Amino acid sequence: MNIDERLIEMKEVAAVQSAGGKRQTEVRDLQRTIIELRGELEKRNILTEDAVQMARRDATQEILQLKATIGALREELEHSKVLQAQEAQRAISSNQDETGQLKKHISDLRTQLENLVSEKNSAVQAAHASYAGEIDQLRSMTAKLREELEAAGVERDNAIHKERLKAVGEITQLHETIAAMRQVIEQLKSQ
């Protein structure tokens, strides 16, 4: 059950229950919801760590592919100047496509996360409008958990962005190496 479903369920329970003894049931339901939200936050933290690890693996894999391409280019330079130049061109095109796809994917994920946070904030605010009195303390705890969840999302985005910047730097360096190798090939061709 996700946060939206829990909030809808909470709202329905609040509408059906009356004052007095039923208020305690509502408080218990809210306490359970807070416990579930904490569990959700822990899951989000795990997902954040997984996303960072995946970004690191993707960057490492791309770097390893580029290093393998450079090794192949060096070997081909010894055997055939023409074949080496063609392989370098293919490697550059492939890396540019992959980098563009990764940037688009990150942008799409960021937009989805922002929309999700916005929807959840709206739902939480609507549910909070129906509470009063002793529930104010529970409202404060829920708001704190929401902030922690948003902070976890921002932390994940920052970690992914940092890994991407690191990968872009290494990719740029590898592209420069490829360009230098091309220049050597051109010089050897002109001799």
Dist CA 85 CA 132 (whole Å): 73
Instruction: Count other Cβ atoms within 10 Å, centred on residue 158.
Output: 12
Has this prediction a pTM greater than 0.95?
no
Q: Is the pLDDT of residue 121 over 80?
A: no
pLDDT at 9: 66
Cite the DSSP H helix spans in the chain. Answer: 3-16, 21-79, 81-128, 135-190
pLDDT band for 35, please (50, 70, 90 cuts): confident
Rg (C-alpha) for the chain, rounded Å, is 27
pLDDT at 133: 58
Which residues have a Cβ under 8 Å from the Cβ of 96 and sit 6 or more positions away?
none
